[in-house]
A and B are shown apart, each in its own frame.
Chain A
Amino acid sequence: MMDLIHQAIIRNGLLTGFIVVGALIGISYVLSARLTRGRLHGSAIAIFGGLLLAYVGGRFSGGKNGIADLPAFAGIGLLGGAMLRDFSIVATAYGASFDDLKKSGLPVVLSLFAGVTVSFICGVGVAFAFGYRDPVSLTTIGAGAVTYIVGPVTGAALGASSEVMALSIAAGLVKAILVMIVTPFIAKAIGLDNPHTAMIYGGTLGTNSGVSAGLAATDPKLVPYGVMAATFYTGLGCFLAPSVLFLATRWLFPG
C-alpha cells in the first residue's frame, strides 16, 4: 500500500509539487499572522522555508537542485523551473502601467551598469584579500559576485580553473539567496515602495531569482517593474565581465 502511494506521488510529480508548495505557503501565512502579527510577509517566510527544504534536499541527495533531486519531490523542479517561472513572471506584467515603465528608462540603464560594476569590484576585492592574484581568477570570482550565471560564463570564456569556477558560482548563489531573504527587511530603508524604485532595485541587484523572490516577499505589485529591469542584468554582466571588466582587472593586477 505504501509503495502504491509512493509510486503515485512520483508518477504525478507536478501535482505533488502543488500540494507541497500549497502546504508550505499555508503554514507560512499562519506563522506570519501568529508569530509576527503580519509584520513579516507570509511569502517571505514561505521563500525562506523553500530555501530550508533546498538545504535538506541537497544534504540528502548530494545533488545541485535542492529538494527537486529527491524523486518524490521532482515535480517541484518542474513547478519552479525556468519555463513556468518565466511564464508566470510575464503574466505579472498584465495590468502593470506602461507609462511607469517608460518613465524610468535612463536611471534604469544607469542602475544596470552601476550594479554590475559594483558587485564585480566587491567580488574582485574579496578574491584579492583571500590571496588570488592572477587576473583570470580575480575576474571569474568578481563575475560570480554579479550573478551565478555571469560567473561560470566568464570563467569558461577566460579558461578559469574548476575550483575558481565553483567559488564563483557559490558567490552568485550567496547573492541570490541573500537578496531573497534581506529585501523585505530592508525595503523600507531604501524606499522600495513604488514602481520607479522597484525598477532601480531590479537594475542594481539584478540577480533574477533574488529580485523576483525579494519583491514577491515585499510587495507582489512591484514584481513586474523590478523583474523588467533585472532581465537585462545577467546579459549585461556576461557582456561586460569577460571584456571591459577583464581588461581593467588585468591592467590593475597583471598577475
Chain B
Amino acid sequence: MIKNHLALLPILIPLTGAMVALLLRKQRRLQAGWTLGTMLTAFAASLWLLAEIWGSGRPAVFQSGGWPAPAGITLVGDMLSALFVVMTQLVMVTGILYALGSRDTVVKYPTFFPLFLTLAAGLTGAMLTGDLFNMFVFAELLVISGTMLTAMSDDRYGAEAAYKYFYISLLASFFMLLAVGCLYVSYGTLNLADLAVRIDTQGARLLLWPGIAFLLVTFMVKSAVFPFHFWQPDFHTAAPTPVSAMLSSVVVKLGVYGFLRMTTLLFVAQAPLIQAVLVGLGVIGVIFGGLSAIGTHNVKRMLAYSTLAQIGFILVGIGWGTPLALAAAIVFAFNHSLIKAAMLMLAGYIASRASIKSAAFEVVTGVGKPLPGAGVLFFVGSLALAGIPPTNGFVSKLLLFNSGVEAARFWALFLIGLASILTLIYTIRAFGRIWWQPPAAGITTKPAGDRLLAPLILIGLVLLLGLWAEPLVGVAYETGLWLGDPAGYVQAVLGG
C-alpha cells in the first residue's frame, strides 16, 4: 500500500514546496534553503520509489481518490518513469545548487525558486502520470514555468527567446489536444494502459494514424528534434545558466520519454513505422546538430546544438527498438542529462567570469587562463560528450553502437559513428579557445563569479558512472526488458 502512494511523492513534494516557497518570498535565504531542502527530499523520495519498484518487480500504481483505473486519475511509476524521475530530480538538485551560488540578478527574484520547483513538479508529473490528458496538463505546467524563468533572464534577449518558445509550445500543445481528441473519439479512453489494450484489440481506427502523427509532432517539439528544433538554440542560450542547464538536459527528455511510451506501450502494432521515422530523424539530427555546433560562435549555443545531436543518438536507439537498444537509449539519456547540465553550468561559469556576461567566443577567449579547475572539469565534460573513456559518455556510446551491431543496422551506425567525431571537434575547439589561447587585448577575467560546486558534483558523477557503470546499466537493462513486455504495465494498472 505504501509503495503505491510512493508514486505520488515525487510530484507532491515539489508542488507543495513551491507554494510554501512563494509564502517565503520576503526571506530570500530561507526561501533558497527551503527550495534546496524540498528538492533533496523529492530526490530521496524518487530514489525510494525506484528502489521499491526494482525490489518488488512490479510498477507502483496510485489510483487517486480510490477510483479504479480507466475511470480515475492514475499515476504509474514503472522502471522507466522512476528512472527518468530520479534523473530529473538529481539534475534539478544540482541546478538549485548552482542557482544558490550564482551572481545573476535573476536568482534574486522572489518567484525564481518557486518556478524552479513547479518546473520540477511538471516534468516529474508528466513522466509519472498514466493518463494522456494529465500528461498534457503537466507538460503545460513545465512549459509555462520554463518560459517564465527564461523571460526574466539577465540576457536582454530573454523575453524574445521566451516568446518564440512559448508560441511554438502553445502550438505543440494544440497538437497534443488534437491527438487526445483523435484517440478519445476512436477508443473512448485516455488512460495509457487502457488505450494500449483497446488499440491492440480493436485494431486501427480511422483517426488512429492522425492521432499518432499529432502525438509524434508534440513530442518532437518538446525534445527539439529536427525539423522542430529551430526555437531551441535561442531559448537555451538566453535562459539563465541554472535554468538553461535544466532545459537542455532533463526537460528535452520529456519527448524521449514520450517516444519510448509510444513505441513500447501505446502503439506496439504501429511501432515499426514510428521507429523508422525516429531513426531517420535521429540520424539527420546527429549530423545536423554536430555541423551546426561547429558553426556557432557562442559556447552555450554550441552546447544547445550539441543537445540536438545527442537527442538524435537517443532517438536512433529508440528507433532500433531491441531491448538492448532501448537500454542503450535510456543509459544515453541518463548520462547525457548529467554531462549536458555540467557543461552548460561550466559555460555559464565562464560567462560569469568574462568581462561582459556572455558566452560568445569573442568575449570568453582566454578567460580560462587563471581558472585551471574549471578547465579540468570542462575537459572531462568534453571527453564525456564525445564518448571517450573513462567517462559515462563512453559507456553510453559503447552500449548504443553495440546494440546497433546486434540489430545489424549498419547504415545508421556508420552515419552516427562518423558524426560523433564532430562532437570531439567542437568541444575541444571550445576548450582550446577558452583555456589555451591568450586573451585578446582588453579581455580580463573577473576575480569572482558563480560557484563551481554544482558542476563539480555532476562531473564527479560523470566519472563515477564511467568507472562504475554496472548499476545504471543493470537498471537500464531491466527497464528495457520491462518495456518489451507492455502486458505487465497494463496488468498493474487495470488489475486482473
Q: Do A and B come from one complex?
A: no
